[in-house]
């Protein structure tokens, strides 16, 4: 090595590349004569895509590049050129010299298989598939003379939160960097190297799946560990130097004076391992998965440890992982290990006993796996299997298989080891076609009809704000306030189950109006939820249809006009006609909250209330920030079922002519036109084919309290041609009855129409 003649920070190295000695210009200063270093000759492509070329640097030719560990993507260390072990052969490939010919497996785990989040877990799976024995690293080390009970104390005050806590102690350690082989394995596992002690805890985590934590023993007050809950509102500074606010459900690791770690999640800054640490207390514990998950979510803090603890680790594996870490620390950091370990384990784990029926397993899988094969498969997974009789076996899963709790779980394991590709395809039996349920059939019919009429279906949240009842002006005892409250709502605006579809419809109108869409025809089919005296709420299917904006567009044959009550009434009539529901009445009584009482009606058929229809009240429109009127019809689906005509009867074409008669009558404005139609049908009976209101007049020629209605009546007999005398007789009786019941009077005008 010699200094570069034209650059103070560069040196020229003569490198023995095996077949030849080459000159390489380098900026690092950590290597010395005789060191073995990695060389990238010209033509080498580095992991970051950089192509090494022969180049001239400040006038000196460089035949390649000496590499740091991070430049080869071996670790993240860039402190200098990688110094290799002695006694290597110059020119030897680095992968061969350092045994880097390795495979990295990227495995996606389902949440229930946390036992596979380690090398040991994957080895167990491969061993079961290949029927090979899994070899666990032999753990042995020398212990000192002093017992750990004389040096440290562990007191678990919350055994539910911490069913097992084991601890070991090692003294006179030397903190420093980890050897390359450990840093390389951690780096390829996505773990950053810190120092030898912390790296060992992470290494054992990846090896055995058991999270460990290292405390600086001399920074623990009273040389004591206490496991207990935090106090509500207290704060704690974690290793990432963040101050965390705790609640009384957070499990903490404390010493004799203060908190030193959030159990199962992250240690504290006040007890971390530093370069000055000389004694280390190792924690290897099992924490309650539910508590760890809750605290992790509450603190928005997820770590490699919490990821495993919240899914449930092997409670029987804490001691082995602890001893393995002590072994590695003695090897890599020196020191004296205290005699024994502390193991607080008041309620030792006992294996569950699960019954498995071989015929049931084969029925579920569609296979013919023999019982001896089932026993072999389950035994390969380190389960204790006992045959009861020709069809039943008793299985005890190992402690690390926390996901095995019932017979179905064992069936799944048999399927996995049988091989999914070895399970024959079983086609489902062909069954006679069945009719759709009444609800599904009805839903499809009405949706298709409404879409054909130009309506758009919407689907809104079943969760709404309790303020919706206030906007709808609901009374205190109204069903609109009979909310089912959510235990854990996302927001206050979605804290109760809806008692009406109207809030969702009007919210949709508001959203569209903000985007310039003011002419809407929408509908929703969904459930409403009414809290009653029973434990479960009443669930009712409702169809709600809304029209707002223009009722018709500007065309050559019609003028543009605003939607009105009769637009939505026509929709309601079409719905009922589609379902074959007859004898329908619209009655203006008992207005429902949220509707304008002057433009409102309840819908009845055969004495059943089947819906409501009307204009949304002005104050409700304003409450949703809308400007244009909206008209809604609500249909109660369950009430419709017994009224629906499932068979449409054919009506033959009329054989005999009809006779048209018109009536123009002046009556009080409060009298509904439906009353007149009912009188006509009642008097005319089977001879009245149809009756329509074809004109309404309110103006100067009559007083303000009155209106003039014009009815067109078609008379027809199915058996003969009606004579004028017969029609006139019936028609006069109709007029008399209308005048008697309404107090109205006839307007002057033609009585007869065209036949």
DSSP 3-state assignment of 748? Answer: coil
Describe the crossing of helices 196-208 and 318-333 by its angle, rounded to 10 degrees: 140
Same domain, 16 and 157: no
Q: What is the pLDDT of residue 752?
A: 46
Neighbours of 45 (CB within 10 A): 10
> pLDDT band at residue 561, thresholds of 50, 70 and 90?
confident
Closest alpha carbon to 394 in 354, 430, 429? 354
In a domain, residue 108? The reply is no
What's the number of CA atoms in the CB half-sphere (13 Å) around residue 66? 29
Q: Which of 159-163, 306-310, 332-336, 740-744 is predicted with the least confidence, judged by mean pLDDT?
A: 740-744
Residue at 654 is within a domain: no
Q: What is the pLDDT of residue 557?
A: 65
**With 70 as the cut, is the pLDDT of residue 597 above it?**
yes
Q: What is the pLDDT of residues 154-213, one digit of tens each?
A: 999 999 999 999 999 999 999 999 999 999 999 999 999 999 999 999 999 999 999 999
Among 109-113, 360-364, 589-593, 712-716, where is mean pLDDT lowest?
A: 589-593
Of the residues 294, 314, 344, the one at which a domain ends: 344
Which of 163, 179, 175, 165 lies closest to 217, judged by CA? Answer: 175
Same domain, 339 and 359: no
Together in a domain, 373 and 338: no
Per residue in 37-74, pLDDT (tens digit) is 999 999 999 999 999 999 999 988 999 999 999 999 99
Do 175 and 276 fall within a single domain? yes
Whether residue 649 is contained in a domain is answered as no
Query: Quick one: 467 and 613 in the same domain?
Result: yes
Residue 138 located in a structural domain:
no
Return the CATH number at 181: 3.50.40.10
> Which of 165, 170, 154, 161 has the alpha carbon at shortest distance from 212?
165
Evaluate if residue 382 carries a pLDDT over 60. yes
Instruction: With respect to residue 648, please indicate whether it lies within any of the assigned structural domains.
Output: no
Same domain? For 171 and 268 the reply is yes
Query: For the chain, what percent of residues have pLDDT higher than 90?
Result: 62
Greater pLDDT, 346 or 536: 346
Q: To 10 degrees, the CA torsion angle through 301, 303, 308, 310? A: -10
pLDDT at 751: 44
Contact status, residue 665 vs residue 746, Cβ threshold 8 Å? yes
Look at phi and psi of residue 190 and say left if phi exceeds 0, alpha if psi is from -120 to 50, else beta.
Answer: left
Residue written as token pair 């903000």: 514
Looking at residue 259, its pLDDT comes to 95
Instruction: Indicate whether 340 and 456 sit together in one domain.
Output: no
Give the CATH number for residue 398: 3.30.56.10
Q: What share of the chain has pLDDT > 70, as a percent?
A: 97
Task: Put the strands of the sheet holding 153-156 in their side by side order.
Answer: 153-156, 224-229, 251-254, 259-262, 266-267
Residue 168 and residue 288 share a domain: yes
pLDDT of residue 640: 81
Residue 143 has pLDDT above 60, yes or no: yes
- CA proximity to 175, closest of 80, 75, 273: 273
Residue 291 to residues 312, 341, 348, Cα–Cα distance (Å): 11, 26, 20
Q: What is the pLDDT of residue 755?
A: 35
Same domain? For 275 and 295 the reply is yes
591 — pLDDT class (breaks 50, 70, 90): confident
How many Cα atoms occupy the beta-carbon half-sphere of 402 within 13 Å? 22
- The answer to whether residues 147 and 340 touch, using CB atoms and an 8 Å cutoff, is yes
Single residue among 389, 422, 455 that ends a domain in this structure:
422
CA pair distance 450, 149, nearest whole angstrom: 79
Run of H or E including 611: strand 608-616
Report yes or no: 132 and 197 within 8 Å, Cβ to Cβ: no
In a domain, residue 637? The reply is yes
Residue 110 belongs to a domain = no
The verdict on 400 and 365 lying in the same domain is yes
Task: Choose the final residue of a domain: 313, 344, 375.
Answer: 344
Which residue range forms the structural domain that includes residue 360?
354-422
Lowest mean pLDDT, pick from 92-101, 445-454, 501-510, 739-748: 739-748
Residues 228-283 have pLDDT tens digits of 999 999 999 999 999 999 999 999 999 989 999 999 999 999 999 999 999 999 99
- Domain containing 630 — which CATH number? 3.30.930.10
Give the pLDDT of residue 487: 87
Q: Compute, in degrees rounded to 10, the torsion defined by CA atoms 699, 703, 704, 705.
A: -130
Asked if the structure places residue 32 within a domain, the reply is: yes
CB 83 within 8 A of CB 29: no
**Which domain CATH number covers 696?**
3.30.70.380
Structure tokens at 339: 């005699």
**pLDDT tier, 753 (very low <50, low <70, confident <90, very high otherwise):** very low
pLDDT at 750: 45
The span from the CA of 555 to the CA of 127, in Å, is 78
Q: Report residue 437's pLDDT band, with 50, 70 and 90 as the boundaries.
A: low
Q: What is the 3-state secondary structure (H, E, C) of 499-538?
A: CCCHHHHHHHHHHHHCCCCCCEEEEEEEEEEECCCCCCCE
Residues 627, 500, single domain; the answer is yes
Q: Tell me what the mean pLDDT of segment 678-689 comes to.
A: 86
pLDDT tops 70 at residue 646: no
Tell whether 272 and 313 lie within a shared domain.
Answer: yes
Q: What is the mean pLDDT of the chain?
A: 90
Instruction: Specify the number of domains making up the chain.
Output: 5
């Amino acid at each position: 090595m010699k200094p570069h003649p034209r650059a103070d920070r560069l040196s020229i190295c003569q490198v023995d590349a095996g077949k030849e000695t080459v000159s390489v210009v380098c900026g690092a200063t950590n290597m010395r004569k005789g060191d073995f270093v990695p060389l990238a000759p010209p033509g080498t492509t580095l992991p970051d895509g950089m192509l090494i070329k022969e180049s001239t640097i400040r006038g000196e030719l460089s035949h390649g590049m000496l590499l740091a560990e991070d430049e080869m993507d071996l670790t993240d260390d860039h402190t200098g050129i990688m110094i290799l072990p002695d006694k290597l052969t110059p020119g030897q490939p680095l992968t061969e010299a350092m045994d880097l010919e390795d495979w990295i497996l990227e495995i996606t785990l389902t949440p229930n298989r946390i036992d596979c989040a380690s090398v040991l877990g994957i080895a167990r799976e491969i061993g079961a598939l290949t029927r090979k024995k899994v070899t666990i690293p032999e753990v042995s080390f020398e212990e000192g003379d002093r017992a750990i009970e004389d040096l440290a104390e562990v007191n678990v005050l919350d055994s539910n939160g911490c069913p097992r806590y084991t601890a070991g102690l090692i003294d006179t350690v030397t903190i420093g960097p980890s050897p390359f082989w450990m840093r390389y394995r951690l780096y390829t596992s996505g773990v950053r190297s810190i120092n030898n002690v912390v790296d060992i805890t992470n290494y054992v985590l990846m090896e055995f799946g058991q999270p460990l934590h290292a405390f600086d023993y001399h920074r623990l007050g009273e040389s004591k560990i206490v496991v207990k809950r935090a106090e509500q509102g207290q704060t704690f500074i974690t290793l990432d130097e963040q101050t965390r606010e705790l609640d009384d459900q957070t499990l903490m690791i404390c010493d004799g004076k203060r908190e030193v770690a959030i159990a199962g999640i992250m240690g504290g800054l006040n007890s971390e391992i530093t370069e000055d640490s000389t004694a280390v207390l190792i924690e290897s514990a099992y924490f309650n998965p539910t508590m760890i998950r809750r605290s992790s979510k509450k603190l928005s803090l997820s770590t490699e440890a919490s990821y495993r603890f919240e899914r449930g680790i092997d409670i029987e594996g804490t001691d082995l992982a602890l001893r393995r870490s002590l072994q590695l620390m003695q090897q890599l950091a020196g020191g004296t290990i205290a005699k024994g370990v502390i193991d607080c384990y008041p309620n030792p784990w006992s294996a569950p006993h699960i019954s498995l029926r071989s015929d049931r397993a084969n029925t579920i899988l569609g296979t013919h796996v023999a019982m001896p094969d089932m026993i072999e498969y389950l035994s390969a997974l380190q389960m204790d299997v006992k045959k009861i009789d020709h069809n039943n076996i008793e299985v005890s899963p190992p402690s690390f298989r926390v996901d095995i709790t019932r017979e179905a779980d064992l069936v799944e394991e048999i399927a996995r080891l049988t091989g999914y590709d070895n399970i024959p395809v079983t086609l489902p039996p062909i069954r006679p076609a069945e009719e759709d349920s009444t609800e599904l059939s009805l839903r499809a019919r009405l949706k298709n009809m409404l879409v054909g009429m130009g309506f758009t279906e919407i689907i809104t949240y079943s969760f709404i704000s309790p303020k919706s009842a206030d906007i709808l002006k609901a009374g205190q005892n109204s069903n609109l306030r009979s909310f089912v409250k959510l235990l854990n709502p996302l927001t206050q605006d979605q804290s109760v189950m809806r008692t009406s579809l109207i809030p969702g419809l009007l919210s949709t109108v508001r959203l569209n109006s903000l985007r310039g869409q003011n002419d809407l025809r929408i509908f929703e089919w969904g459930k409403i939820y009414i809290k009653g005296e029973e434990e479960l709420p009443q669930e009712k299917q409702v169809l709600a249809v809304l029209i707002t904006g223009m009722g018709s567009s500007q065309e050559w044959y019609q003028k543009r006009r605003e939607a009105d009550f009769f637009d939505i009434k026509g929709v309601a009539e079409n719905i009922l006609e589609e379902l074959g529901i007859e004898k329908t009445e619209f009655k203006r009584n008992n207005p429902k909250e949220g509707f304008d009482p002057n433009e409102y009606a309840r819908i009845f058929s055969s004495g059943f209330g089947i819906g409501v229809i009307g204009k949304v009240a002005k104050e409700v429109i304003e409450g949703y920030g809308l400007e244009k009127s909206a008209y809604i019809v609500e249909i109660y689906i369950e009430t419709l079922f017994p009224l629906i005509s499932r068979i449409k009867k054919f009506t033959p074409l009329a054989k005999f002519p009809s006779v048209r008669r018109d009536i123009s009558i002046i009556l009080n404005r409060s009298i509904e036109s439906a009353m007149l139609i009912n009188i006509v049908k009642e008097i005319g009976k089977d001879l009245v084919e149809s009756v329509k209101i074809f004109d309404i007049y309110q103006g100067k020629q009559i007083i303000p309290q009155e209106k003039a209605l014009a009815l067109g009546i078609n008379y027809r007999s199915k058996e003969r041609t009606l004579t004028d005398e017969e029609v006139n007789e019936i028609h006069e009786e109709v007029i008399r009855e209308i005048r008697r019941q309404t107090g109205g009077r006839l307007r002057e005008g033609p009585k007869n129409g065209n036949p």
